[in-house]
């Protein structure tokens, strides 16, 4: 019934907006960062198996389920206490929960009132900001993690130095989260008349 040109439009409109919220894009880029680091890590670990434990700090993949991995993760967490690529997905979860609490339903008479529009757009924009800031953060940390794995395989004194660069990279996601939270906290819905 509908012509070809409008089918994409219909699809986009019919998809629930929750998909595009902070968590959708954040998880995408956490995954992106993890695969960038992970593929280099696997290859480099063939010649230098010792690098796998330290470099898991970079990937911190939640998909591994064995007891050994969990134990290793706890040890590494206790030692350094920092999570990188996975942190990006965690930021997304945090902001999604916060935005969820900000949402309120508005009576139909006030649906297009300026105040309710402002609140709606503020929450939407906050989700977009967090999502895309985490996108670049995840990719950045992933690329640095890949270089970290390769250089650690050659010379183990380089690991901590490149880890510092990764910390600066993950600050990008943090900036996005801060801005997103500030924006969404100002979303005030109109009082129910």
Partner 1 sequence: MYGWEMLSFNIHDGFLEAIVRGNRSGLLTAADYNNLCQCETLDDIKMHLTATEYGPYLQNEPSPLHTTTIVEKCTLKLVDEYKHMLCQATEPLSTFLQYITYGHMIDNVVLIVTGTLHERDVNELLEKCHPLGMFDSIASLAVAQNMRELYRLVLVDTPLAPYFSECITSEDLDDMNIEIMRNTLYKAYLEDFYKFCQKLGGATAEIMCDLLSFEADRRAVNITINSIGTELTRDDRRKLYSNFGLLYPYGHEELAVCEDVDQVRGAMEKYPPYQYIFSRISYGESQMLDKAFYEEEVKRLCLSFEQQFHYAVFFAYIRLREQEIRNLMWISECVAQNQKSRVHDSVVFIF
Q: Contact residues for partner 1 (CB under 8 A)? A: 32, 35-36, 39-44, 46-48, 139, 143, 146-147, 149-150, 153-154
> Is the distance from CB of 145 to CB of 57 less than 8 angstroms?
no
CA 192 to chain centre: 35
Residue 132: DSSP 8-state: H
Q: Which is nearer to partner 1, 123 or 150 (CB)?
A: 150
User: 21: left (phi > 0), else alpha (psi -120 to 50), else beta?
Assistant: beta
**Shortest Å distance, C-beta 168 to partner 1:** 17
Q: Which is nearer to partner 1, 134 or 146 (CB)?
A: 146
**Shortest Å distance, C-beta 28 to partner 1:** 13
**Shortest Å distance, C-beta 25 to partner 1:** 15
Phi, psi of 173 (to 5 degrees): -65, -35
Q: Which is nearer to partner 1, 124 or 132 (CB)?
A: 132
Q: Give me the numbers of helices (H) and strands (E) for the chain, helices first please.
A: 7, 0
Q: Which is nearer to partner 1, 110 or 151 (CB)?
A: 151
CB atoms within 10 A of CB 121: 12
In angstroms, rounded to a whole number, what is the distance separating the alpha carbons of residues 111 and 109?
6
**Shortest Å distance, C-beta 9 to partner 1:** 28
């Amino acid at each position: 019934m509908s012509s070809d040109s409008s089918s994409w439009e219909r699809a986009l409109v019919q998809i629930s907006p929750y998909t595009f919220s902070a968590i959708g894009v954040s998880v995408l880029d956490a995954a992106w960062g993890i695969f960038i680091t992970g593929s280099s890590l696997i290859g480099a670990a063939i010649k230098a198996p010792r690098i796998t434990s330290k470099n898991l700090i970079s990937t911190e993949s939640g998909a591994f389920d064995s007891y050994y991995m969990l134990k290793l993760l706890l040890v590494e967490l206790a030692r350094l206490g920092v999570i990188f690529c996975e942190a990006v997905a965690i930021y997304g979860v945090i902001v999604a929960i916060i935005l969820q609490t900000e949402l309120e339903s508005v009576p139909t008479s006030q649906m297009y009132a300026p105040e309710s529009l402002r609140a709606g757009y503020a929450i939407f924009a906050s989700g977009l900001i967090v999502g895309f800031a985490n996108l670049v953060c995840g990719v950045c940390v992933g690329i640095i993690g890949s270089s970290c794995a390769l250089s650690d395989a050659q010379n183990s004194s380089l690991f901590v130095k490149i880890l510092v660069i990764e910390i600066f990279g993950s600050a990008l996601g943090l900036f996005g989260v801060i801005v997103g939270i500030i924006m969404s906290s100002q979303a005030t819905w109109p009082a129910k008349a």
